[in-house]
Structure 1
């Protein structure tokens, strides 16, 4: 978890308070479905067949713009993923995109 926050800090140029805010937003808005680690091994994640954000294939198949759009506008393929554009600022959405990118599992050499 700490490595993720450090990486988010370095990617976003954020300070400690901002990194804490990103983690707090993730906890408050995302963990119910996506889990703390993005693997979606939650009751709702499994029920809705939510993808594992830590998988390299998931990460590679989505651009930052794709992720940002789903957070802002919701997912037309899954009505449970509601839009957050009226609940989060553009800066918070951008920070979440960076946070999601830190979830990528290392690939085998």
Structure 2
């Protein structure tokens, strides 16, 4: 009985995490992909035009804290004025999910 409950709990948590990952991916597609690309490398027309940083670079990933990323999403970029703030358009939970999503980008 305990094993079944543990298995159900594990499956439930995995399903919840998977749904959260899918929601973050969908949010990225809707709000970020047109400039940052599907993989964060900014190899899009706008990304190239605006010289948007490659978010998959290990040095960039290391240099940016989660709070730094959260602030840029919330407040917009001081480096590129075309990156507008999303604090009025996204919930704090959605912003946090995007921070986690950005952390999945790997140079490869």
Q: TM-score by structure 1 length?
A: 0.81
Instruction: Determine the structure 2 residue equivalent to 1:81.
Output: 83
CA distance in 1, matches of 2:20, 2:103: 17
Instruction: Determine the structure 2 residue equivalent to 1:100.
Output: 102
TM-aligned CA deviation for residue 14 of structure 1: 4.1
Residue ranges of structure 1 left out of the alignment (5+ in a row): 1-8
Match of 1:37 among 36, 39, 45: 39
Which aligned segments of 4 or more residues in structure 1 are displaced greater than 6 angstroms? none
CA distance in 1, matches of 2:52, 2:20: 27
Residue ranges of structure 2 left out of the alignment (5+ in a row): 1-12
Would you say how many aligned residue pairs link Structure 1 and Structure 2? 96
CA distance in 1, matches of 2:19, 2:60: 29
- Which protein, 1 or 2, shows the higher relative CO under an 8 Å CA cutoff with sep ≥ 6? 1
